[in-house]
Amino acid sequence: MPDPKQTALTRARYNRIATVYDLMEFFPERRFALWRQQLWSQVPAGNILEVGVGTGKNFPYHPPAARVTGIDLSERMLALAQKRAQAMEREMDLRQMDVQRLDFPDDTFDAAVATFVFCSVPDPIQGLRELARVVKPEGRIFLLDHVRIDRPLIGPLMDALNPVAVRLTGANINRRTVENVRRSGLNIESVTPLGPMDVVRLIVSRPGEGRGR
C-alpha cells in the first residue's frame, strides 16, 4: 500500500515549486516539447486519462477529438493547469487525485498518458497497476520519463545525487522505470530511447492479465 507520509511529502514539494515550475524547466522544455509531441502523436482519440498534468504542458498536444480527464496530486499545480486550459479555451475534466489510488471504475479509459511523472510517484508500481485497472483491456498506456543511466560512474553518481534531487524538485533521477513497468504486470509493446545516453524513454504498454486487480 502507498505510504501516506511519502505521498503527503510529494504533494507538499510540488505545491512549493508550482509557481516556479515552468521557469525551472524553461531550457530543457525546448527538447521535452518535441518528445511530448512524439508521444501524443501515437495516442488515439477517445476517452483519455492524463496523469500528473502539472501546469498543463501537454495540453497543446492532445488529440483534437479526445475527451481528456487530467489529474494531479498537487492542488497548486492543478490550479495553474486550469488557468492554461481556460486560456486555450479547452474543456477538460481536471481533478486533484493520486495515481496510487484512482477514483475511477475499472475499464474507464481508452488510454492513459503520463509524461515525467513516474519519477516522482512514491510507489510507482502501485500507480502503474492502477493505470492497468482503469484502462480498457485493448487500451494503451503511454509513458515518457527520464531513467537511471546504467553505465559505470554515471549510474552510481545518479544514485548518490538522488536524495538531493528529490528534496529540491520532488523527482527521482535514478528510477528504473522500464523495469517498474514490467514488475507492475503491464505488457511492454515498445521502448524508444531518447536524449543523451538514452536518459529518457518513451514506453508504450498495455494492461496484462490480472490488470492490477
In a domain, 212, yes or no: no
With a threshold of 0.85, does the pTM exceed it? Answer: yes
Domain interval for residue 99: 4-206
The grid coordinates listed for 25 are 524547466
Residue 96 domain-assigned (yes or no):
yes
Domains identified in the chain, total number: 1
pLDDT tens, per residue, the chain with 213 residues: 788 999 999 999 999 999 999 999 999 999 999 999 999 999 999 999 999 999 999 999 999 999 999 999 999 999 999 999 999 999 899 999 999 999 999 999 999 999 999 999 999 999 999 999 999 999 999 999 999 999 999 999 999 999 999 988 889 999 999 999 999 999 999 999 999 999 999 999 999 865 555
Identify the pLDDT of residue 36: 98
Q: What is the CATH number of the domain that holds 131?
A: 3.40.50.150
Rounded to 5 degrees, what angle do the CA atoms 117, 39, 16 make? 25
- Backbone region of residue 197 per phi and psi (left: phi > 0; alpha: psi in -120 to 50; beta: other values): left
213 within domain boundaries? no
